[in-house]
Every structure is written in C-alpha cells, then in structure tokens.
Amino acid sequence: MRMMKLAAVALMAVFLAGCGINNIPTYDAAMKAKWGEVENQYQRRADLVPNLVETVKGYAAQEKDVLVAVTEARAKATSIQVSADTINDPEKFKQYQQAQGELSTALGKLLSITENYPDLKSNQNFLALQSQLEGTENRIAVARKDYIDSVQTFNTELTTIPGSIWASIWYGNKYKLAESFTAAAGADQAPKVDFGTDKTKTNTGG
C-alpha cells in the first residue's frame, strides 16, 4: 500500500511538472537575476562618474553647469534604493528608470562638450574612463534587453492558461506582474560614443 501511495505521489509530481506548475517560480527567479544584472551595470556606471567629472573639470572648469548637472543626476540616481521587490512596485520602478534616464542625458551633454578640448581628449585618464564608460553602456543595453525579455516571458506565463490557474490556485496569487522598461527611442541600444573623430555621437536611451 505504501509503495502504491509513493508511486501515486511520484506520478502526480510528474503530471504537475508536465503541466508547467514550476514555470512561474522558474521564470520569476530568472527575471530577478536579470534585474540584478541591470542594477549592477547601472551602479558600475555611477561609480565611473565622479572620476570622469573630476577629469573633465581639470580641463574644462568653465563648463560648470554641465558638470553640476551630471553630479546632481548621479546623486539622484544613486539615492533611489532598489531591490528585487522594485520590479513589482510601479512607482519605484518609474522613479528608478527616470533617474537613470536623466543621468544618461546629463552624461551625453558632458561627453559632447569634450570635443571642444583637444588636450582633454588626449588625456590618458580620460581615454581610459571613456573606454570603461562605453563598455558599461554596452553592458547596460544588454542587461536591459535580457531583463525586458524575461519580464515578457514571466508576465505571459502569469496571464495565460495554465499559468494563470497555477498562480491563483497553487500559489495563492503570490506572484505579481512585473514592471518593465518603457521603450524610449534607442533604449535597446548602447549609446554610441566616438572620441576618435571630430564629432561625438551620443544616443542615450537611459
């Protein structure tokens, strides 16, 4: 009798797994991992800003307004405390995205003025910083896209059958729809910054 019960339990487990009952927690974990990477890359960019500002200031102190704007935008972006729960908080998520977008815009303006300072453009510290920034922007773009894709997968599972049934009956509505980045123009592409020519191209999607 005991063997029959164990067999029944095993059969039920296989049946439930085959019906996708594990999809929701699996997709949720993957989505939160992608969100963590977005956080990491935005923090990496924020960490580069102080040195970038100080380096530019050494050659273009008169560009005070631009330098202050970047510093303030960074302060605002880093003041917003985020966690895995942020993806289920529309207001907090919106604040975070807006703040990062403002920092992107401020950095774009800062980078554009460097064209007026040849000595700055040849400074080794500046060249290293711009290379790191460009690489970080690429990683941000990739991280955002991966997160957006994972949100789409998770939200679709949560709102379609049989996922919606499992979410309601099996998980007691524990899982909520996740927020995603809005599709601003060029948001899925890294800013293109060319310091080797006479014109800097910036495309800051935030």
Which CATH class, in words, describes the domain spanning 37-206? Answer: mainly alpha
Amino acid letter, 41: Q
| Whole-number pLDDT of residue 144 | 97
Which residues fall within 8 angstroms of residue 185, CB to CB, at 6 or more apart? 205
Q: How many residues does the chain have?
A: 206
| Whole-number pLDDT of residue 20 | 78
* Per-residue buried b or exposed e for 160-183, using 16+ beta carbons within 10 Å of the residue's own CB: eeebeebbeeeeeeebeebbbbee
| Whole-number pLDDT of residue 6 | 39
| Whole-number pLDDT of residue 19 | 64
Alpha helices in 60-199 (DSSP H): 64-79, 90-113, 118-121, 124-159, 163-165
Task: Determine the angle formed by the axes of helices 23-59 and 90-113, rounding to 10 degrees.
Answer: 30
| Whole-number pLDDT of residue 182 | 87
Domain locations in the chain?
37-206
Report the SS3 class of residue 97. Answer: helix
Our CA dihedral for 91, 92, 95, 98, rounded to 10 degrees, sits at -100
| Whole-number pLDDT of residue 116 | 95
Q: Which of 102, 89, 93 is nearest to 46 (CA)?
A: 102
Q: Can you list the residues of the chain whose pLDDT is less than 50?
A: 4-17, 185-205
Q: Which of 23, 10, 14 is nearest to 166 (CA)?
A: 23
Q: What is the pLDDT of residues 189-203, one digit of tens each?
A: 444 444 333 333 334
What would the DSSP string read from start to end of 26-75?
HHHHHHHHHHHHHHHHHHHHHHHHHHHHHHHHHH-TT-HHHHHHHHHHHH
Amino acid letter, 24: I
Half-sphere exposure of 100 (CA within 13 A, CB side): 28
| Whole-number pLDDT of residue 60 | 95
